[in-house]
Structure 1
Amino acid sequence: MNARTSESPVGITPNLFGIAYGLTGLAGCWGYAALLHLAPAVVSDILCLLAAVVWLTLLVSYVMQVQRRPGGWHAELTHPVLAPFVSLIPIVGMLLSIGLMRHDRATGQWLFGVFAIVTVVLAGWMTGQWIAGGLDLDKLHPGYVLPAVAGGLIATIGASLAGWSGLARVFFGLGLVSWLVVESMILARLYFRPPLPPQLQPTLAIEAAPPALAGLAYLAITHGKVDAVAFGLAGYTLLAALIQLRLVGVYRHLHFTSGFWAFAFPYAAVATFTLHWVVYAHPPGYRIWAWVVILAITAFVAALAAETTAALARHRFLPQLH
């Protein structure tokens, strides 16, 4: 995250999969807009393809490097800060499979099933590791919602789209209950312990994702039913978005690093959930409001991509391995 030096070689760490995660989140927003007949589906397809290229490139490099690192995979999966981000590998795989279902349903379903199994098994192993190995409360950060919470809720959406309604409800229970449990620990850490170190403060953006994902997952398993539960999840999503506005003062003092990609998927999830409510409320000029949401999140992710390109050119993006 600092300038590259000959003494400290750069490497691929699991949080870098947040780039592909963010791109698939934006692709999902465009895909949802296409489902609502608000935007062309081709943009979502292009973003999925770009995300797949980034994901595969990172995956090959990461797997090759982990084998040469001290402790290998065990060290990666037990790291107190970076371990939860390893779950992004199968989670992005699920998101890409969801995109593939639009074009090749059978292949998309098969791949989604594989990645969903890996996601759930990994979430179970990590949760067991946190129990068996213990956690340092001060090292707990919002990224800990990724394995079971984000994994379970995204699996809910994918299973619903695949036509596996029973399995979708199982995944929904996994993700929702995990959110209630893990989120309580994270909020306790954020409320009562010292602030996160600057390099981890971008992960605060992840807090916006669970309520929006829960809302989208609920809509998926109920086929778009708007009831008290949907409204309740919308209310909590609103609170999460307002919290992010308050945290702008924290974010603006940070230097750009790869960690900033933690903003992309959560904000894209909120934008996608917002699209549903814009269409549901159907205010005058609702299409204009929908496009404001779509273009705003697209511009935000494009800005992250531009900053990333500039940082790569200056050799100040990839983290150093010590």
Structure 2
Amino acid sequence: MTSLLLHMRPIFFGTVLGIGGLANGWRVASRLWGAPVLIGEALAVTAFALWALWSVLYALKWRFHTDAAREEIRHPAQGLIAALAPVSTLIAAIAIGPHVPLLGWGLFIAGAAGVALYAAWSVGGLWQGGRAPQEVTPILYLPTVGGGLVAGIASATFGQPALGWMFFGMGLFSWLSMESVFLTRLFQHGLPATARASLGMELAPPAVACVAYLSLAPGPADRAALALFGYGCFLALVMLRLVPWLRQQPFGPGAWGYTFGVASLPLAALKLVEQGAGAPVTQMALALFVAGNLIIGWIALRSLVGVIGFFRRRPG
């Protein structure tokens, strides 16, 4: 048990974002194309179950291995990955809400409060300076950009649009202010192979912002939503161009960092189609949806093989 807890890392909450985002895509696809409802709900329940598992293990790690957990959260480059805990709580709320509304509401309140508090704590640390260039990666987006935009989606889901627009502002303006900081570092210093999976988080903001905007403004899709979607598609093309460079980093849990953007871009396309966007989004939606399922399915399969190998290597 000790070995298992020490191997528990906040990046594992990324599985909830990837699978939960895919579940939301299938939910829209069932409304739009008549896709089987069971698939989306099975993915949603899986996302919730993973959130519950990681939450228990992470809580136990803080209880029995406090020093190790505290050292992770204080790491200058990787520490802010802990923001995935409250963000994934919001995804779990969206996943389970239609089945157990009271539980969904409880998780929404806890997740929204956690996002706001952790974002304030993390930004307060960033404002004190002292961060080396190699410590500036898209992981910095997680507390404010990821947290704010996902909280916006969750607020819309639970019928709180005013709160949702406030969170949307937090996420959007944090993204716009941080984007140039990260790109400047990337242009000058690049990223070592060991940190390149963090670029998956660079793909997510415009797609998640598009989904949040459409969730909060459920009328006909407008130019702002299309602009966000267009930038997300452009970043996806950049990521495709970088595949050989990105694959220099060995496969590991960090690969789940790609999945929320990969799930959110087709979800944005589906919601745009649902809300009246015409060509070329209508023609792109199915291809993006299929690609998203294949990529996340491949990452999930590789991860499952890794988990099986981990338990086989354990003594006894």
The 8 Å contact of residues 14 and 82 in structure 1, kept in 2 or not, is answered as no
Deviation track 1:180-208 (CA, whole Å, cap 9, x = no partner) reads 12222211211112x22212101112111
User: What's 2:85 paired with?
Assistant: 89
Paired position in structure 1 for 2:239: 244
Asked whether the 8 Å contact 1:168–1:221 carries over to 2, the reply is: yes
Partners in 1 of 2:96 and 2:311 — Cα distance? 34
Identity within the alignment, %? 31
Partner of 1:139: 135
Q: Distance in 2 between matches of 1:235 and 1:44?
A: 26
2:210 alignment counterpart: 215
What are the within-5 Å matches in structure 2 for residues 172-191 of structure 1? Answer: 172-191=168-187
**Partner deviation per Cα, 1:118-172 (whole Å, 9 max, x = no partner):** 1111111111112236322211211211111011011111111211121111111
1:293 to 284, 288, 292: 288
Could you tell me how far 1:282 is from its partner in structure 2? 4.6
Q: 1 or 2, which has the higher helix percentage?
A: 2
Distance apart, 1:39 and its partner CA = 2.1
The separation in 2 between residues aligned to 1:164 and 1:57, in whole angstroms, is: 28
When structure 1 is superposed on structure 2, of 54-63 and 83-92 the one drifting more is: 54-63
For 1:72 and 1:92, the matched residues in 2 are separated by 22
Letter in 2 for 1:57: L
**1:277, CA displacement in angstroms?**
3.9
Deviation for aligned residue 1:68 = 4.3
Q: Aligned to 1:226, what secondary structure does the other structure show?
A: coil
AA aligned opposite 2:263: A
Q: Which residue is equivalent to 2:22?
A: 26
Please list every run of 5 or more consecutive structure 1 residues that lacks an aligned counterpart in the other structure: 1-5
**Superposition pairs for residues 160-179 of structure 1, below 5 Å?**
160-179=156-175
Q: How does 1:1-322 map to 2 (within 5 A)?
A: 11-69=7-65, 71=67, 74-132=70-128, 134-193=130-189, 195-278=190-273, 280-282=276-278, 290-315=285-310
The 8 Å contact of residues 258 and 317 in structure 1, kept in 2 or not, is answered as no
Task: Give the residue type in structure 2 aligned to 1:156.
Answer: G
Listed as ranges, the gaps of 5+ residues in structure 2 are none
CA distance in 2, matches of 1:42, 1:128: 43
When normalised by structure 2's length, the TM-score is 0.88
String of CA shifts for 1:64-111, please: whole Å, max 9, x gaps.
223444646543332112222111111111011112232344442232
Q: Aligned partners of 1:135 and 1:67: how far apart in 2? A: 29
Contact 1:278 1:289 in 2 (8 A): no
Q: Cα–Cα, structure 1 residues 69 and 293, in superposed 2: closer, same or farther, change >3 Å?
A: same
SS at match of 1:102: coil
How many residue pairs end up in the alignment?
Answer: 310
| TM-score, structure 1 as length reference | 0.87
Q: CA deviation at 1:54?
A: 2.0
RMSD value, Cα: 2.7
Q: Which amino acid aligns with 1:311?
A: G
Higher relative contact order, chain-length normalized (CA < 8 Å, sep 6+) = 1
After the TM superposition, list the runs of 4 or more consecutive aligned residues in structure 1 that deviate by more than 6 angstroms.
none
Counterpart code for 1:36: L
Rounded Cα–Cα distance in structure 1 between residues aligned with 2:91 and 2:110? 12
Partner of 1:3: none
